Amino acid sequence: MSFEYLLGLFVLALGLSWTPGPNNALLASSGARFGYVRTLPHVIGVVSGFGLMMFLIGIGLSQVFEQFPIVREILRYVGAAVLLWLAWKIATSHASTDRPRSEKPWSLLAGAAFQWVNPKAWVMAISLAGQAPLTEPDWLAPLMVALVFALAGVTSANGWALFGAALQRFLSTPVRFRAFNLTMAGLIVLTVLGILFADLSGAPA
């Protein structure tokens, strides 16, 4: 596995991980509501959870989708339903000054577990699983791909959480906070629409 390949993969991973999507919208929203420090467990969960997903799919989990396409379709619609629910929760959430005390930022485990119902994460992982070169041992390439995406994810997850946290003072008015929440919720809804109408049958596995 050459340095040129890893560098190109990292550039690709940066582009994919920084684009708006469910993880980034949730992290920005959490940063705006709870601050960066309290959002850190969520950040770590996203990075570690997606890295683990990439590795497991790379070493053979993607074969499940080849043998049982219905699993892919079930995941698509279950994930879409979860994302729409999260979009509604963000759109109706409260500012840090008047939110109920029961509201808390996501934990590390919640952030990691969310990757398994995040259709965008699945599409990315499945599409890239078959693109890694063959290595000896055969688990090395999936591991390197997972580490590269985890490294790119560190930059994007922290960046979006910091973006939300930086806007806390600007979002101090109810109108601005509601507009921000609606924007983040809208990004998630757009992702859902893209996933629902995407043709996943031709995705490399």
How many structural domains is the chain composed of?
1
Q: What is the mean pLDDT of the chain?
A: 85
173: pLDDT confidence band, cut at 50, 70 and 90?
confident
Q: Does 9 reside within a domain?
A: no
Alpha-carbon span 101 to 156, nearest angstrom = 29
Domain of residue 177 covers 22-197
Q: Where are the alpha helices (DSSP H) in 62-205?
A: 63-67, 69-91, 108-114, 119-129, 140-166, 174-197
Which of helix, strand or coil describes residue 137?
coil
Alpha-carbon span 202 to 111, nearest angstrom = 29
Cβ neighbour number for residue 84 with a 10 Å cutoff:
14
Could you identify the residue written with the tokens 């929440």?
A: 181
| pLDDT tens-digit map of 143-171 | 999 999 999 999 999 999 999 999 988 88
Of 66-70, 85-89, 98-102, least confident by mean pLDDT is 98-102
Alpha-carbon span 114 to 110, nearest angstrom = 6
* pLDDT given at position 204: 38
Q: Does 167 reside within a domain?
A: yes
Q: Does 17 reside within a domain?
A: no
Q: Does 205 reside within a domain?
A: no
**pLDDT at 201 exceeding the cut of 60:** no
Q: What's the mean pLDDT in 25-41?
A: 94
4: pLDDT confidence band, cut at 50, 70 and 90?
confident
Q: Which of 41, 21, 20, 18 is nearest to 31 (CA)?
A: 41
Is the four-CA dihedral 64, 128, 151, 122 of positive or negative sign?
negative
Q: Which of 94, 100, 112, 109 is nearest to 172 (CA)?
A: 94
Q: Does 33 reside within a domain?
A: yes
Q: Does 125 reside within a domain?
A: yes
Q: How far apart are the first and last CA of the chain?
A: 20
202: pLDDT confidence band, cut at 50, 70 and 90?
very low
Q: Which of 60, 200, 50 is nearest to 130 (CA)?
A: 60
* pLDDT given at position 120: 81
Residue pair 204/126 in contact (Cβ under 8 Å)? The answer is yes
Q: Does 89 reside within a domain?
A: yes
Q: Does 15 reside within a domain?
A: no
Task: Name the residue with higher pLDDT: 128 or 8.
Answer: 8
Is the four-CA dihedral 160, 166, 170, 172 of positive or negative sign?
positive
Is the four-CA dihedral 99, 32, 91, 25 of positive or negative sign?
negative
